[in-house]
Amino acid sequence: MTHELLTVDEMYEADRLTMADHVPGVELMENAGRACADAICERVEKGHVTILCGPGNNGGDGFVIARLLQMRGWAVRLALLGDKATLKGDAAVMAGKLAKEIKCDVLPLTSDMGEGTDLIVDALFGAGLSKPVTGVVAETLARAETSGAILMAVDVPSGMDGNSGQVLKDDTGGFAPHVDFTVTFARKKVGHVLMPGRAMCGELIVADIGIPDEVIAEIAPLASENALNHWWPHFPELEEDGHKYTRGHALVVSGGVSSTGAARLAARGALRIGAGLVTVASPPNALMVNASQLLSVMVKSFEESDGLAELLKDSRKNAVGIGPGAGVRDATCDLVRAVLASEAACVLDADALTSFEKKPKQLYEIAHLKTVLTPHIGEFKRIFPNLLESSVCKVEAAQKAAKESGAIVVLKGPDTVIASPDGQAAVNTHAHPALATAGSGDVLTGFITGLLAQHMPPFEAACAGVWLHGACGEALGRGLIAEDLPEVLPEILQVLDETMGDALSEDAFWDED
């Protein structure tokens, strides 16, 4: 299975390179329409279909679908936005082929087109649409969405941005429907895996239409789904002659006496994911609170940044998690500086980020390639102001943030994006909604910190931590609390050990699980 994600421009380039290698555009369009027709026939009982065609190549795909479905015995009604006489290029060729081979009237698009039909095909606009869907098109799609008919989209639901997954909007409005299934071509687009696009597309089918893998390799897309085969080869192995010191020593920095639980959750996560030793470093007033709650995790006392720096002179403490429960204050900034001045890899989360809200560039100046930042959307906006607003696309925003800070950025959410300063980005596509609970992010901090302690490369450690966090959520489901996540992790890791091997099959994992 391939996991590259294409931007809209990269998909255009893939088409261009394929056609430059003597594959006609009409052949690609025929293949696309056939893939859509096949997907329809596999999922929908034969009956009445209404196909909504736009004036461009997406509409051209719709003409192919209409011809093939009618040849397979469907009752076809086709509606076109615009005048058939103004169609150009491959779309015009396919409209002519439809008229030549079958009898099918081309009706003008009206808002009632979805009435009295079993299936509606949205072939109006593809992923490259740059302006909102309004007026009669928006009304037609809105009525189609609520008509009771099955709704299928070609490439993307019309009105959805193929890069950001957002509904295109301006002062005049904007609409895109939620569909039952979507057929796209060659590879998923970035917008297919980002919310809300992922939810709007329904079941997503990626069809091979004749674009060679070599073309995708030549384009070298920087974004991909967060897939097992990207990070599993880097995952720490259990060496037969290993011992706890070879598996690294993670240190988690605790907050004061009234905010210690977050650090303990992170420490438990670091221990469960395989760090050989884990220590919670506590201010003096929190030492006994943490000590009374911890067994396998050790405790150490420190006083302010000088004391933390002293603890980190022991280079065996090679990974640090800081931020959960630390408090939003200048003293937390000083603690972060002490951590980043050491040789340890580190994860900065929560208060370790928000404490730099008024001076984010100071954070960028001290972060390094062994630093992983794990902001949620609110924290991201505090330390990278205006990036989300100016980029629109969450992947692009995370890539810019990673480049600006020189650190790995984990922009958390139901579509968590992991980005590296070199431009790589991975989008996580499994995260159970029940993970939206107090302390869940603290456990993620611990997972990544524990992997860093085991010398996993930072980008891959972040990808693995996010993926495993999502898998734990899927395993537990509704009702989970943060304390449950580290406890189900051994089961997940056992299944991975048994199913991955040389095959690196993500499907094998989920089937076994």
Q: Which two tokens stand for residue 241?
A: 């002659």
- The three state secondary structure string of 411-477 is ECCCCCEEECCCCCEEECCCCCHHHCCCCHHHHHHHHHHHHHHCCCCHHHHHHHHHHHHHHHHHHHC
pLDDT in tens, 434-460: 999 999 999 999 999 999 999 999 999
Strands across the sheet with 203-207, in order? 106-108, 75-80, 48-53, 119-123, 150-154, 181-185, 203-207
List 75's β-bridge partners, or say none: 48
pLDDT in tens, 290-347: 999 999 999 999 999 999 999 999 999 999 999 999 999 999 999 999 999 999 999 9
Total residues belonging to the chain: 513
Mean pLDDT of 160-180: 96
Average pLDDT taken over every residue of the chain: 95
Q: How much of the chain, in percent, has pLDDT values that exceed 90?
A: 91
Q: Which of 183-192, 400-409, 499-508 has the lowest mean pLDDT?
A: 499-508
First vs last C-alpha separation in the chain: 19
Residue 207 backbone dihedrals phi, psi, to 5 degrees:
-105, 140
pLDDT at 506: 60
Task: Check pLDDT > 90 for residue 189.
Answer: yes
pLDDT at 391: 65
Residue 435 near residue 395, CB atoms below 8 Å? no
Mean pLDDT of 110-134: 94
pLDDT at 327: 96
pLDDT in tens, 456-488: 999 999 999 999 999 999 999 999 999 999 999
Element at 199 (helix H, strand E): helix 197-200
Residue of 101, 151, 103, 148 whose CA lies nearest to 124: 151
Angle at 361 between CA 360 and CA 363, to 5 degrees: 70
Residue 356 near residue 362, CB atoms below 8 Å? yes
Q: Which two tokens stand for residue 378?
A: 């609110």
pLDDT at 125: 97
Element at 79 (helix H, strand E): strand 75-80
pLDDT at 114: 85
Residue 120 near residue 114, CB atoms below 8 Å? yes
3-state secondary structure of 120: strand
pLDDT band, very low/low/confident/very high, at 240 (cuts 50, 70, 90): confident
Residue of 166, 224, 169 whose CA lies nearest to 198: 166
Mean pLDDT of 235-262: 93
pLDDT in tens, 19-67: 998 899 999 999 999 999 999 999 999 999 999 999 999 999 999 999 9
In whole angstroms, how far apart are CA 350 and each of 184, 323, 328, 384? 38, 5, 9, 14
pLDDT in tens, 71-99: 999 999 999 999 999 999 999 999 999 98
Task: Check pLDDT > 80 for residue 192.
Answer: yes
pLDDT band, very low/low/confident/very high, at 276 (cuts 50, 70, 90): very high
pLDDT in tens, 497-513: 998 764 555 665 555 44
Half-sphere exposure at residue 413, Cβ-oriented, CA atoms within 13 angstroms = 19
d(CA 88, CA 2): 33
Task: Give all domains of the chain, ordered by start, each with its CATH number.
Answer: 4-221 (3.40.50.10260), 228-474 (3.40.1190.20)
Give this prediction's pTM: 0.94
